[in-house]
Amino acid sequence: MSPRSKTAGSATALGPGIGEVVERFELEKAWLVDPVSGREGPGEIVITGGVLESVVWLEGEEAKGVSDRGVIVAPGFLDLHAHFREPGFEDAETVATGTAAAAHGGYTTVALMPNTSPALDEPGVLERIRSAARASGSPVEVLAYGAVSADRAGEQLSAMGELADAGVVGYSDDGAPVRTPTLLRSALLYAGMLGLPVVDHAEDLELTAGAEANEGYVASIMGLAGWPAAAEVNAVSRDLAVLADALIDEPRVRLHLTHLSTAASLDLVRRAKDAGLPVTCDVTPHHLALADEWIAGARRWSWEALGPDGSSRDPWADGALTAPPYNTSLRVNPPLRTPVDAAACLAALLDGTASAVVTDHAPHTVVDKEVEFGRASSGISGIETALGVLLALVDAKRMPLARAVAALTTGPAATLAGWPAPAATPAARKRGLVEGAPADLVVFDRADRWTVTEDSLRSKGKNSPLIGRELSGRVLLTIAGGRLAYEDPGAGDE
């Protein structure tokens, strides 16, 4: 009953190398998840000439023995927030290694942040990234944000109109917030005029100067400078106030708040959405599943660190500290918060306050991470582990499988589609299992657990706090736009 036996002949049928059209592929008796139709169940798919020729839902006798705990087919994932470091930091990641990592994670579309060097603040840089994507041979679709400000310096607007013409999907100074409320107001209005959103990294830099870890019990004991929740809440408040103002002048303004991490800031967004403000937000796998206690050496999932009354448990009292403390792969911006905040991220995802899970894939070199905790670069290499982390939530019955798939597919697609301009781009198409469309899907085996190791990660960034951990849901196959993006190396053995 190995997954490969179910795809018997598929390896030879696949034949092509990365980037080549999948001429013929059949998968019998898998569990199909189609978040567009909302349907999931036993089924079969056939791909011919790169096109998803047929999707057959099985019933009765034919469906026997197929469960949602085995081989699963879902639409290809869409990451609204990743860093591939090119140009400028190619020792940390390149477009080629980044797309390979994305495909290994089940992603077929990624939107890259513009904090490259030079920053993506004019179309020339975008062309370099696209050229690198073409040269990589990967069929993973690479989208990009332009910078809000020239050189991300927070002074003047970037070449926003030219960037829109060149096809950016939005604007962000990610890595840092849009520096001033005045600049944010201008950016929202100008971007709104162009039908694009501003994606803000919400952080009050004045409150986080020198900060090392979420301000609270763990940071207090560990002697780490506190990174207060107020820094995010304050920035979100500012952004929402400016958005409300800008909306009066330009109905097409859109604000997207990325990687929100605190219960209080998510609650602000919830209320703003209720009040009709054009705001969306996302959360990351690490803020859903990890907590600040990991820095002290805990390695339990965030939901395992909640007490019966919903408060955070004490890892010292629980004897839960099993790993070395101060692991720099846990240094991330915004910081890992409390288990209560992680639960709030999940609640926001489930009630629609957050419309997507994004990886904030942030690869770093050993040189930037094998240093003192407070001096390490912020970021987690996470595009290859997002699926496994969400499946851990599903395994723990915190979230239905279909919701996890939606958070990686229709959730981010709807977010993109809600931004007026890029609705026409292929990325914003509804990510369903649509017959007659180019095949864009991932096949993974929920029962097949794999261990995260430096070797198993395709990304150059080995800065994952999940190194050494087993995750469920090994990705067997990723097909992007009808072309092969990733195939499990074991698949051709049979």
Partner 1 sequence: MSVEAEAAAVGRTAGHARTQEVVWHHRHLLDVDVVTWPEIELIMRTTDEMKGVLARPIRKVPALNGRRVTTLFYEASTRTRVSFETAARNLSADVVSVSTATSSVTKGESLVDTIRTLEALGAEILVMRHSVSGAPHLAAEIFGGHVLNGGDGWHAHPTQALLDLYTMRQHLPDGDLRGRKVAIVGDILHSRVARSNIWSLTAAGADLWLCGPATLLRGMDRWATAWDGGAIPGHGRFHVTSDVDAAVRDADVVMALRIQRERMQGGLLPSLREYAARFGLNAERVSLAKPEAIVMHPGPMNEGVEIAPDVAISGRAVITEQVANGVAVRMALLYLLAGAHEAAVGHEAAR
Q: Tell me: does residue 324 bind partner 1 (CB under 8 A).
A: yes
- Select from 79, 121, 173, 215 the one that contacts partner 1 (CB under 8 A): 215
In angstroms, what is the minimal distance from the CB of 90 to partner 1?
21
Q: Under the criterion CB under 8 A, does residue 219 sit at the interface with partner 1?
A: yes
Q: Which two tokens mark 240?
A: 């929402």
Beta bridge partners of 270: none
Among 118, 325, 400, 490, binds partner 1 (CB under 8 A): 325
CA separation for the pair 405, 407 (Å, rounded): 5
Nearest approach, Cβ of residue 325 and partner 1 (Å)? 6
Dist. CA 148–CA 150, nearest whole Å: 7
* Residue 135 or 367 having the CB closest to partner 1: 367
Helix (H) or strand (E) holding 14: helix 10-14
Residue 212 in the binding site for partner 1 (CB under 8 A): yes
User: Which residues between 339 and 368 bind partner 1 (CB under 8 A)?
Assistant: 367
Within 244-303, which residues bind partner 1 (CB under 8 A)? 297
Residues of this chain, 29-88, that bind partner 1 according to CB under 8 A: none
Residues 82, 360 contacting (CB under 8 angstroms): yes
Nearer Cβ to partner 1 (93/212):
212
Is 360 a residue of the active site? yes
The answer to whether residue 373 forms part of the interface with partner 1 (CB under 8 A) is yes
- Contact between 374 and partner 1 by CB under 8 A: the answer reads yes
Which pair of tokens denotes residue 346? 């999940």
217 touches partner 1 (CB under 8 A): yes
**Closest-CA residue to 30 (of 386, 447, 439):** 447
What order do you get walking across the sheet with 279-283 strand by strand?
Answer: 198-201, 255-258, 279-283, 356-357
Q: How many residues bind partner 1 (CB under 8 A)?
A: 28
Of 376, 387, 384, nearest in space to 453 by CA:
384
Q: Is the peptide bond before 118 cis (omega within 30 degrees of 0)?
A: yes
CB of 88 to partner 1, least distance (A): 20
Q: CB of residue 298 vs partner 1: minimum separation in angstroms?
A: 13
Closest approach of Cβ 125 to partner 1, in Å?
Answer: 29
Among 8, 135, 205, 225, binds partner 1 (CB under 8 A): 225
216 part of the interface to partner 1, by CB under 8 A: yes
> Would you put residue 223 in left (φ > 0), alpha (ψ -120 to 50) or beta?
left
Which listed residue (173, 174, 239, 360) is catalytic? 360
User: What tokens appear for 237 in the block?
Assistant: 């408040």
- CA 305 vs CA 164, 206, 341, 429, 462: distances in Å: 44, 31, 11, 38, 26
Q: Which of 267, 316, 420, 467 binds partner 1 (CB under 8 A)?
A: 316
Of the pair 371, 423, the CB lying nearest partner 1 is at: 371
Q: What tokens does 306 get?
A: 């909640």
**Cα(47)–Cα(24) distance, rounded to whole angstroms?**
5
Question: Using CA atoms, how far apart are residues 298 and 304, in angstroms rounded to an integer?
Answer: 11
CA dist., res. 312 & res. 300, Å (int): 12
User: For partner 1, what does the binding mask look like between residues 144 and 163, x meaning CB under 8 A?
Assistant: --------------------
**Sole binder of partner 1 in the list 155, 370, 454, 494 (CB under 8 A):** 370
Site membership for partner 1, residue 378 (CB under 8 A): no
Identity of the residue, 207 or 479, whose beta carbon is nearer to partner 1 in the bound complex: 207
Residue 321 Cβ vs partner 1, minimum distance, rounded to whole Å: 8
Applying CB under 8 A, does 396 fall inside the site for partner 1? no
| Dist CA 101 CA 107 (whole Å) | 9
Q: CA–CA separation, 316 vs 338, rounded Å?
A: 14
Given the complex with partner 1, which of 118 and 374 has the nearer CB atom?
Answer: 374
Q: Does 223 bind partner 1 (CB under 8 A)?
A: yes
Residue spans of alpha helices (H) in 81-204: 95-104, 123-136, 160-166, 181-193
φ/ψ (deg, to 5) at 366: -60, -40
Which of 194, 184, 144 has the alpha carbon at shortest distance from 164?
A: 194
Torsion sign across C-alpha atoms 77, 110, 489, 89: negative
Beta bridge partners of residue 321, listed in sequence order: 298
Q: Mark the segment that binds partner 1 (CB under 8 A) among 210-218, 230-238, 357-365, 377-385.
A: 210-218
Which one of residues 46, 222, 277, 434 is an interface residue with partner 1 (CB under 8 A)? 222
Q: Which stretch binds partner 1 (CB under 8 A): 20-28, 213-221, 333-341, 395-403?
A: 213-221
Per CB under 8 A, residues contacting partner 1 are: 212, 215-217, 219-226, 297, 314, 316-317, 319, 323-326, 367, 370-375
Task: Please identify every residue annotated as catalytic.
Answer: 360
